[in-house]
A and B are shown apart, each in its own frame.
Chain A
Amino acid sequence: MLSNGGIIVNQEVFLQVKQVSKTFPSVKALDHVQMIVHKGEVHALIGENGAGKSTLIKILAGVYEPDLGAEIEIEGQCIEKLSPITSVRHGISIIFQDFSLFANLTVAENIAMGGAIESGNAIVNWKEMSVIAKHSIERLGVDIPIDVPLGTLSVAKQQLVAIARSLACKAKLIIMDEPTSALSKGEVDLLFTIIRNLQKDGIAVVFVSHKLEELFEVCETFTVLRDGKYIGTYPASEMDNNKLISLMVGRSVTFDRMPSKGIGETLLEVKNLTKAGNYKDISFELHRSEILCITGLVGAGRTEVVQSLFGLNKPDSGEIILEGKSVKITTPEHAVKLGIAFVPESRQTQGLVLRQNMRDNILLPILNELVNKFGLLDHKALEAESDKWIKEINIIPAVPEMLAGQFSGGNQQRIVIGKWLATNPKILIIDEPTNGIDVGAKSEIHKLLRFLADKGMGIIMISSELPEVLAISDRILVMRRGRINGVFEGETVDSESIMNKAFLADKNIK
């Protein structure tokens, strides 16, 4: 028997999944993954961004259908197919990060509605709902009024309501996706107390979280995923932070390192940039011909920082110095004028007009410069300009009339980059440049970025993919919870040190 903190674990298996794979059109999100959850066990499911945790829990929720050959067993019973409703009937309850609650309905309804709908009645029995709601809340041992709209409660209480709803659905396994992300320390402690109580009732809890220190407080088993593959399941007693991190980052894919040919003078200086609730005390320098990478976990504040450099997110305080001059960047137009370009993460929705052709997409930011003396578009100039950039960024097939949506993911990314190059930027900011494109195309994007840097551009790249960070960064900033938690030179760093800074608090920072 496993034991942790005096709690004895029932060894009866509640859920067993084997051979679970999930293939999306461009990527294999899960590759023969397995997991066993015992009754009354608190189990952590961990891995880096994109390791496949979310995909796995969505399969258990019945939201995604796994590829053929997956085996799912609940309480010894083989499950042919899980839908959102059958998943709940089998006692699996998932609390997503957004809780899936209704802010405009009462607490009682939020807790008891699911069961009431299932009963098939057309008329609402408010009395019965409040009895069920009260009972579930009492089981948690907390005090929450049940007849107020949910939206009037704090986030922590809303989460407790979500747990109460799981109990009202007679859940035997509650999966929590990043449950402590919006909670204070005291609230986290309360949550853990409640989880230990549930455990005594034989209810299993699966935690999906990045906060390793917290996980050690309450979890007795760890299942680690990496790049969609199952790495292993380990009892907490045999694990520590460093062991877990090395399990999460062991790599199968590596890219050749492309070092800089020499870094130039300072382009951009950021001093103590702060925005309440977003990020704090961000200071760094960017030089010509340098690729500066900002890495860290999703939600660490990386995107918010670069948005501030592009006029999309006004900082509260701090200074941005561009080529020696202090600037206040207020709008994206202003940023473009100052020579800054920004390629956002979701290129399909934010970066490209998929139903327009490649030429129009590339020319979009500079259309107002390509007009003749009558103020109308000069089509010869348009063609010349777009042909130049298509050649420069090496898109194949080089057919300007092809619709942007018809290109592969890698080429779409090139088109977005090309579009911004046409504005002649000094600084290129690029958010997760190779997200969702295949390995070969990734390496092509890396080459393109290095090529641009060698021509004198300063590049700020946000990336969660360590192999990529290691391959092309000249300097690396690791952010954690809104702060820079570590700075590394690209030549000498290794992946463990980066992950340590991404996951664990720096002892020198409060």
Chain B
Amino acid sequence: MKHWVKTKEFMVLMIVLTIIIIVSIGNGKAFLTTENFFDILKSNLILAIAAMGMLPIILTGGIDVSVGAMMGCASVLSAQWMINVTGNIPLAFAAGALSGILLGSVNGFLVAILKIPPIVATLGTASVYMGLMSYITNGNWISNIPAGFVAFGKQYVFGYIPVQIFFLVAMAILTWWILKYTFLGRGVFAVGGNMVSAERIGFNVKKIQFLLYAYAGFACGIAAVVRTSIFGQVDPKTFTGFELKVIGAVVVGGASINGGYGSVFGTLLGVALMALLENGMILLRIPTFWQKILIGAIILAAVSIDFIRAKRAEAKKIIVDVT
């Protein structure tokens, strides 16, 4: 067997193709249309962009459960900026990105410097960010987004490619490049593979961790503004629980929850799998609760594979002859 056939990414790709075939047979008329394709794309762009921020964290063996809260906060803060300061489009994205980086840096500080376990640290900040957001918005929707920005969000390139797709392409390329061509990125893999050795060989583990959580915040900020551009308004509650989808997509896309393994391509496939499953089940008229059950089961299966593999490797370890 070729090396790439054995990768988890290949497995996910096969599952994605299987879903496409099943749904095409079941309801090809509605499923196999350009419209439906771009619909799926548009409604899952945000998930994919946020997943680009989550991937490096999971690669180090960490986790960030404040993603939903960061996205909510960043969308509220960037909306306030647009309404109260300027409707300039690049500056709107900069405002979202900056607020995301700020929120992510707090996570980074707690995890990298104070060494608080990531799940506890980000669980705490998630609650803080949610509270902060309710304080700013009083729980109300923000619908007076400047008209110029709303119009920007409705643009299509070549007739049917939504403009937001370019943000995903840019984020995907940026994340891939960082992971492949910078020592920060290689450090991410090294920390996920063997933290003690990574420190021994000269990586600054603290710096790497800090930057990653800030980067996740950055991705959340961009994703938040992209969402505002799609819907033309901000619902502060819309991202509640979103982190589960993001983590799910990364893990389903073949990244090991213990760190060390995963790729941008795989994560995109993971998003595609979740998106197609959702869309396909709607088109096949399967009740919504089945979607939740199935997606949960797939996430558990994806995580279980790692642990089963680790257990097998442990059992194979030879003990005799270590004298």
Seen from chain A, the residues whose Cβ lies within 8 Å of a Cβ on chain B are 84-85, 97, 100-105, 109, 113-114, 116-118, 121-124, 126, 148, 152, 178, 181-182, 210-211, 277-280, 296-301, 304, 480-482
With known contacts A182-B321, A480-B323, A102–B197 Cβ distance under 8 A: yes
* B323 close to A211 (CB less than 8 A): yes
Most buried by A among B181, B189, B201: B201
CB distance from A484 to the nearest CB of B (A): 13
Chain B residues with Cβ below 8 Å from A152 are 3
Instruction: Pick from B190, B196, B202: contact of A85, CB below 8 A.
Output: B202
Q: Does B203 contact A (CB under 8 A)?
A: yes
Q: Per-position contact with A for B161-200: 1 when CB-CB < 8 Å, else 0?
A: 0000000000000000000111111100110111011101
CA distance A300 to B3 in the complex (A): 36
Instruction: Pick from B184, B186, B202, B323: contact of A105, CB below 8 A.
Output: B186
CA distance A481 to B323 in the complex (A): 7
Q: Does B319 contact A (CB under 8 A)?
A: yes
CA distance A296 to B321 in the complex (A): 12
CB distance from B122 to the nearest CB of A (A): 24
Cross-chain pairs A/B with CB under 8 angstroms, 28 sampled: A84-B200, A85-B202, A100-B194, A100-B200, A101-B194, A104-B193, A104-B260, A104-B261, A105-B186, A109-B186, A113-B186, A113-B201, A117-B183, A117-B201, A124-B180, A124-B181, A126-B181, A152-B3, A182-B318, A182-B321, A277-B317, A277-B318, A277-B319, A277-B320, A296-B323, A301-B319, A481-B320, A482-B319
CA distance A215 to B186 in the complex (A): 38
Chain B residues numbered 286-321 whose CB sits less than 8 Å from any CB in chain A: 316-321
CA distance A54 to B205 in the complex (A): 26
Most buried by B among A109, A117, A301: A117
Seen from chain B, the residues whose Cβ lies within 8 Å of a Cβ on chain A are 3, 180-186, 189-190, 192-194, 196-198, 200-203, 260-261, 316-323
CB distance from A435 to the nearest CB of B (A): 18
Chain B residues with Cβ below 8 Å from A104 are 189, 192-193, 260-261
Given contacts A105-B189, A113-B186, A299-B319, 12 further A-B contacts (CB under 8 A): A84-B200, A103-B194, A122-B182, A123-B183, A124-B182, A148-B3, A178-B322, A277-B316, A277-B320, A298-B322, A300-B323, A482-B320
Chain A residues with Cβ below 8 Å from B193 are 102-105
CA distance A148 to B3 in the complex (A): 9
* A181 close to B322 (CB less than 8 A): yes
Give the total number of A-B pairs whose CB atoms are below 8 A apart.
Answer: 95
Q: Which residue of A lies closest to B59 (CB)?
A: A104
Q: Chain B: interface secondary structure? A: helix
CA distance A152 to B4 in the complex (A): 13
Chain A residues with Cβ below 8 Å from B182 are 122-124
CB distance from A318 to the nearest CB of B (A): 15
CA distance A279 to B200 in the complex (A): 34
Chain A residues with Cβ below 8 Å from B183 are 116-117, 121-124
Chain B residues with Cβ below 8 Å from A181 are 321-323
* A279 close to B320 (CB less than 8 A): yes
With known contacts A102-B197, A113-B186, A124-B180, A210–B323 Cβ distance under 8 A: yes
* B323 close to A297 (CB less than 8 A): yes
Chain A residues with Cβ below 8 Å from B189 are 102, 104-105
Instruction: Pick from B180, B181, B194, B317: contact of A102, CB below 8 A.
Output: B194
Chain A residues with Cβ below 8 Å from B317 are 277
Q: Which residue of A lies closest to B191 (CB)?
A: A102
Chain A residues with Cβ below 8 Å from B260 are 103-104
CB distance from B21 to the nearest CB of A (A): 31
CA distance A103 to B260 in the complex (A): 9
Q: Which residue of B lies closest to A181 (CB)?
A: B322
CA distance A482 to B320 in the complex (A): 5
Q: Which residue of A lies closest to B201 (CB)?
A: A114
Chain A residues with Cβ below 8 Å from B261 are 104
Chain B residues with Cβ below 8 Å from A122 are 182-184
CB distance from A437 to the nearest CB of B (A): 25
CA distance A113 to B202 in the complex (A): 9
Chain B residues with Cβ below 8 Å from A481 are 320-321, 323
Chain B residues with Cβ below 8 Å from A178 are 322
Chain B residues with Cβ below 8 Å from A116 are 183
Chain B residues with Cβ below 8 Å from A182 are 318, 321-322
CA distance A258 to B3 in the complex (A): 62
CB distance from A231 to the nearest CB of B (A): 21
Instruction: Pick from B184, B196, B202: contact of A118, CB below 8 A.
Output: B202
CA distance A480 to B321 in the complex (A): 8
Q: Which residue of B lies closest to A120 (CB)?
A: B183
* B197 close to A278 (CB less than 8 A): no
Instruction: Pick from B197, B203, B323: contact of A100, CB below 8 A.
Output: B197
Most buried by B among A102, A481, A482: A102
Chain A residues with Cβ below 8 Å from B3 are 148, 152
With known contacts A104-B193, A124-B182, A148-B3, A301–B320 Cβ distance under 8 A: yes
Chain B residues with Cβ below 8 Å from A148 are 3
